[in-house]
Amino acid sequence: MIIRLQPDADPAAVSGRLAALGLWVDRFEGEGRQPLFVVHPWSAEASREQIEALDGVAEVLARQHGRPRLDAAPPVIDVAGIPIGAGQRPVLMAGPCSVESEAQIDAIARQLARSGVQFLRGGAFKPRTSPYAFRGHGEPALGWLSDAARAHGLRVVSEALGEATVERVAAHVDLIQIGSRNMQNFPLLRAAGATGKPILLKRGMAATIDEWLLAAEHCLDGGASGVIFCERGIRSFDPNTRNVLDLGAVALISGVHRHPVVVDPSHAAGRRDLVLPLARAALAAGAGGLLVETHPDPGRALSDGPQAVDLAALAQLAAEIDAGAPAGGWR
């Protein structure tokens, strides 16, 4: 935003009033008597009305974000009867990296349902850095996954990897996952949207928040019934964790922009011993749910075993969610 002052206002005094609102400003001088103030992006949120009400402010000029559909989206998205977003009980989405067999996924689903999990996740089509790694069992795995979920009262989320298969994924799931590597695969975003299903949109490895919000706008413009953001860590320089979990982005999107966000602590950490602390931190920051890689026997997982937690960890998280509801309900 740009702030134009009244002709007789004292710029230092106005700057103090803006700081009191949480706004950092840069001051631009021209030939006129009064400077213009440009609000820095890491300022606290304030509405045009709040700023124009300040003594000494003449006018606020704003920039179009170009996200009309996202701006109009409700803060809570219903996914097959489960509400996700501000003020709702956080949801748990769990399951293995890959769906490995019909028996495996059914056994996992049974245990997860007992642990208080609402969504079964599992990969049928897997993006793999190497062309020679296991790429998932494909369409049959989707059937096993949805059968297992239905048998145990769970909802289903799974990743759509390409335009050619997105409709088949949509036919089996309640929530279509778009992976980090595809956050700006625009034809896929539109094809996923065209199925009319809600979309779980993972953040790209180095995507800015604005790019992420605009990717959601692509989904909604394509026809998606809703978008749930999923923060999974951004790329950084320290090798001791796989990625850096950006909970500032979670607090911003969930608490300020009021869109539903879930957090994937498994890919953020890459290491099992940090999954629970980061899961708790995510909920404290305002996440509306968690997406957790879970495997009953991580040593036998076909992919990502080292970062999978066991089912007891999920039960622990579910218990903490039960116990942790604040007096006035979830924020």
Q: Which of residues 297-326 bind its own copies (CB under 8 A)?
A: 297-301, 305-307
Q: Per rule CB under 8 A, is residue 268 in the interface with its own copies?
A: yes
- 230, 201, 207, 211: CA torsion to nearest 10: -120
Q: Per rule CB under 8 A, is residue 329 in the interface with its own copies?
A: no
Binding segment for its own copies (CB under 8 A), chosen from 39-47, 79-87, 95-103, 144-152, is 39-47
In the complex with its own copies, the residue whose CB is nearer, 256 or 312, is 256
Q: Per rule CB under 8 A, is residue 328 in the interface with its own copies?
A: no
- How remote is the C-alpha of 54 from its chain's centroid? 35
Tokens of 94: 């769990």
Among 5, 9, 51, 60, binds its own copies (CB under 8 A): 60
Q: Per rule CB under 8 A, is residue 49 in the interface with its own copies?
A: no
Binding segment for its own copies (CB under 8 A), chosen from 72-80, 91-99, 114-122, 251-259, is 251-259
Q: Per rule CB under 8 A, is residue 211 in the interface with its own copies?
A: yes
Binding to its own copies in span 270-289, by CB under 8 A: 270-274, 277-278, 280-286
Report how far residue 199's alpha carbon sits from residue 155's, in angstroms, rounded to the nearest whole number.
13
Q: Per rule CB under 8 A, is residue 168 in the interface with its own copies?
A: no
Is residue 272 within 8 Å of residue 306, measured between CB atoms?
A: yes
Binding to its own copies in span 170-199, by CB under 8 A: 181-182, 184-188
Q: Per rule CB under 8 A, is residue 22 in the interface with its own copies?
A: yes
Q: Which helix (H) or strand (E) holds 268?
A: helix 265-269
- Quickly list DSSP for 105-143: HHHHHHHHHHHT--EEE-BSS---SSTTS-----HHHHH
Report how far residue 261's alpha carbon sits from residue 229's, in angstroms, rounded to the nearest whole number.
5
Minimum CB–partner distance for residue 42 and its own copies (Å): 4
Three-state SS at 231: strand
- 47, 48, 49, 55: CA torsion to nearest 10: 110
Tokens of 327: 């007096």
Binding segment for its own copies (CB under 8 A), chosen from 11-19, 85-93, 116-124, 169-177, is 11-19
Size of residue set near its own copies by CB under 8 A: 107
- 110, 116, 118, 120: CA torsion to nearest 10: -40
Among 92, 154, 252, 314, binds its own copies (CB under 8 A): 252
Binding segment for its own copies (CB under 8 A), chosen from 93-101, 116-124, 194-202, 231-239, is 231-239
Q: Per rule CB under 8 A, is residue 35 in the interface with its own copies?
A: yes
Tokens of 63: 């920039």
Binding to its own copies in span 107-146, by CB under 8 A: 127-132
Binding to its own copies in span 70-99, by CB under 8 A: none
Minimum CB–partner distance for residue 74 and its own copies (Å): 20
Taking Cα atoms as reference points, which of 157, 152, 193, 190 lies closest to residue 80? 157
Minimum CB–partner distance for residue 305 and its own copies (Å): 4
Q: Which helix (H) or strand (E) holds 279?
A: helix 275-285
